[in-house]
Amino acid sequence: MHVSMIELKAALRRCFEASGYFVGNYEDAANMILWLEKHGLNGLGELDRAISYIKEDKEKSLSTVVYEDNTSAIIDSNGRSALNCIAASVDLAHAKALECGIATVTVHNCHNRMFVLKALTDCGRRGISAAAYWQNGSQVVTEHAVAIKAGDRYPSYSEATTNLASLEVTAGEKQALTIICSSRVDLTASLQQSKGNSNARYVSASQVAKNKEYSVDHGIEIDEQLWAEINKIGEGILVENTERSRMGAGGR
């Protein structure tokens, strides 16, 4: 089914607010999904895979800082979706890079890490080069990398499938994300198309820009079942607001 960008954003905001996301966080989450979808990177498909984690986030502990120094940090997101924690982690890396020139933040126990692209893009637009790397899978691993040059408007993205069956990886490492920000070094040089891997996919910054032009012209298509699920979760905040209104009216 076809929905407008305004309708989708409003529904997403209600969905995340009802799921216990704080003010600001539910705006970030909605914008992360919309950004991926608008730029041809399957934001709604990622959301479909993230729904189960979104429902559980309310019951999980907030992210905790395991280690921190001037140029690095290790954060445990305690099994939360990136929609509910990754923007703050990228902001931390950005702040450290402004202070020290380059910084690395590693996030463990984090799901749906594809949503980091929006936050990294914001870094680039604020004049900081940024990159991120993560892996998905166990026997067959998909490696993901994204980078943006300081001052650019769009990032480059790549993924490649590798057979790492013989490599032992802990559960924490499987759900880890490494973020690097620098005010001195162009990190996009590390993100290049892998010509030796037939399973590699590379999306250039210019292609990301073209994808946005297409979505602006053709709008957003969403699966009816996913749309129903988003609105079902969002009903929680509508009920809560109705109860508050009744209490307010009764107290006058």
CA-CA-CA-CA dihedral for 185, 191, 196, 202, to nearest 10: -160
> Nearest Cα to 28, choosing from 86, 75, 99?
86
pLDDT at 184 (0 to 100): 92
Domain residues for the domain of 67 are 2-206+217-236
- Rounded CA-CA distance 110/82 in Å is 6
- Domain for residue 211, yes or no? no
Average pLDDT, the chain: 86
- Domain for residue 116, yes or no? yes
- Domain for residue 246, yes or no? no
- Domain for residue 245, yes or no? no
User: Domain holding 108: CATH number?
Assistant: 3.30.1370
Using one digit for the tens of pLDDT, what is the confidence trace for 128-164? 999 999 998 777 788 999 999 999 999 999 998 877 6
Q: Assign 239 a pLDDT band (cuts: 50, 70, 90).
A: low
- Domain for residue 252, yes or no? no
pLDDT at 189 (0 to 100): 79
pLDDT at 183 (0 to 100): 95
pLDDT at 172 (0 to 100): 57
Domain count, the chain: 1
- Domain for residue 202, yes or no? yes
Using one digit for the tens of pLDDT, what is the confidence trace for 87-137? 999 999 999 999 999 999 999 999 999 999 999 999 999 999 999 999 987
- Rounded CA-CA distance 33/114 in Å is 10
- Domain for residue 88, yes or no? yes
Tokens describing residue 100: 């020290």
What share of the chain in percent tops pLDDT 70? 85
Using one digit for the tens of pLDDT, what is the confidence trace for 183-214? 999 999 766 544 445 568 899 999 999 988 77
- Rounded CA-CA distance 164/117 in Å is 25
What share of the chain in percent tops pLDDT 90? 63
Judged by DSSP in three states, 57 sits in helix
Q: Assign 35 a pLDDT band (cuts: 50, 70, 90).
A: very high
pLDDT at 70 (0 to 100): 97
Q: Assign 15 a pLDDT band (cuts: 50, 70, 90).
A: very high
pLDDT at 171 (0 to 100): 59
Among all chains, which residue has been given the structure tokens 């996913």? 226
- Domain for residue 243, yes or no? no
